Homo-oligomer: A and B are copies of this chain.
Amino acid sequence: MAAQAGVALKTVSRVVNGEPGVGPGTLARVEQAIIELGYRRNESARQLRSGRAGTLAMVVRDIADPFFAAIGRAVEMTAHRDGQVVMIGSTHEDPKREREVALAFCARRPDALILAPIADSQDYLHPEVEAGLPVVAIDRPAHGILADTVLSDNVGGIRAAVAHLVSHGHRRIGYLGDDQMVYTARERVVAYRAALAEHGIAGDEALVRLAAPTPEGIAHSLGDLLGLGPVPGGLAGAGPVTALITANNRITAEVLRQLPNLPRRTALIGFDDLELADLLVPGLTVIAQDAEGIGRAAMELLDTRLTDPRLPAREVRIPTTLIIRGSAE
């Protein structure tokens, strides 16, 4: 310890923390010693003693997914401004891994946890929440614990997409959605059905495909909806769809890869923006989520909860934007 350099322990602490009450002579001596010994305060020890961590934990599906990477970026920006650092980890859609990663983070006693839930329940976090850990769920709600929630306005996004297609004369609008285990997938397909009804279009479940996006599955669905290949029934009378909504970026990307091989030009709107989407011909019209807004909203919820830890669970919806680029005319 730098106390070797003249003075006593606590004085070093004072200098390091910029506390008042240190004589100019001692201050200079201590600073000198700090430089010479390359002293750096140990934040872990400080945390152990003082209680505050200066650390935020964030668990998402995949830190390389552009959506979550953008949320992480916004969170890190705010955290850095407040002098906090961010621990981040991926679940890779594995409930067991969500639990492992979240608990590994909690063992470091972060100030808060931001979590994109994938497991059915987050009750494994009960002791932590009970002990005062603020949790914010993003993208999907958490279950089994008290947590604030930040979600995209899935309903508004789908409504805008359907309205746009209808205004361009489309009435047979197909829908490729994800596995209904996924919360957002459920919200979105419900919104699709409701939006059709709003425009007086009778829903035709033969136009709706809901499954985890595999290339084969999507090829099959596209063949059906566009009226190619062997039609298993249902579409024969009404004819193929003229427009398609793809309910997340994985589905959209796969459809884009397969569409050029298909004869008919079909209108397309994807949920989630994609890099270079404006450079496709025609440009891809998308429902864009506001990742930065989600990240910032999460930080704001944490901020207010810091002020009053006994707040009830709150839910924030972040607006989506329909970006019109031409693929849905």
Identify the A interface with B (CB < 8 A).
37-45, 47-48, 53, 55, 62-64, 66, 69-70, 72-73, 76-77, 80, 83, 85-90, 97, 100-101, 103-109, 126-128, 130-131, 253, 256-257, 274-281
In the A-B complex, the 3 residue pairs with the closest CB atoms: A38-B127, A43-B107, A64-B73
* Cα separation A64 to B65 with both chains bound (whole Å): 9
- Contact, CB under 8 Å: B108 / A85: yes
Closest chain-B Cβ to A44's Cβ sits at a distance in Å of 5
- Contact, CB under 8 Å: B278 / A275: no
Closest chain-B Cβ to A74's Cβ sits at a distance in Å of 9
- Contact, CB under 8 Å: A40 / B107: yes
List residues of chain B with CB within 8 A of the CB of A280: 276, 279-280
Q: A89-B85, A276-B276 are contacts. A109–B44 as well, Cβ < 8 Å?
A: yes
List residues of chain B with CB within 8 A of the CB of A97: 80
* Cα separation A323 to B109 with both chains bound (whole Å): 45
Q: How many copies does the complex hold?
A: 2
- Contact, CB under 8 Å: A256 / B275: no
Q: A40-B103, A64-B73 are contacts. A89–B86 as well, Cβ < 8 Å?
A: yes
Partner of A87, one of B41, B87, B90: B87
* Cα separation A130 to B126 with both chains bound (whole Å): 42
- Contact, CB under 8 Å: B64 / A107: no
* Cα separation A59 to B37 with both chains bound (whole Å): 25
- Contact, CB under 8 Å: B70 / A64: yes
* Cα separation A40 to B90 with both chains bound (whole Å): 22
* Cα separation A277 to B275 with both chains bound (whole Å): 9
List residues of chain B with CB within 8 A of the CB of A100: 80
List residues of chain B with CB within 8 A of the CB of A107: 40-43
Assuming A42-B109, A76-B89, A256-B279, what are 14 further A-B pairs, CB within 8 angstroms? A38-B131, A44-B109, A55-B108, A66-B66, A69-B69, A80-B89, A80-B100, A85-B89, A85-B104, A257-B278, A275-B275, A275-B276, A276-B279, A279-B280
Partner of A105, one of B39, B83, B85: B85
Q: A85-B104, A108-B44, A256-B276 are contacts. A62–B73 as well, Cβ < 8 Å?
A: yes
- Contact, CB under 8 Å: B55 / A64: no
* Cα separation A63 to B66 with both chains bound (whole Å): 10
* Cα separation A109 to B48 with both chains bound (whole Å): 14
* Cα separation A240 to B102 with both chains bound (whole Å): 57
Q: A63-B63, A85-B105, A281-B281 are contacts. A73–B44 as well, Cβ < 8 Å?
A: no
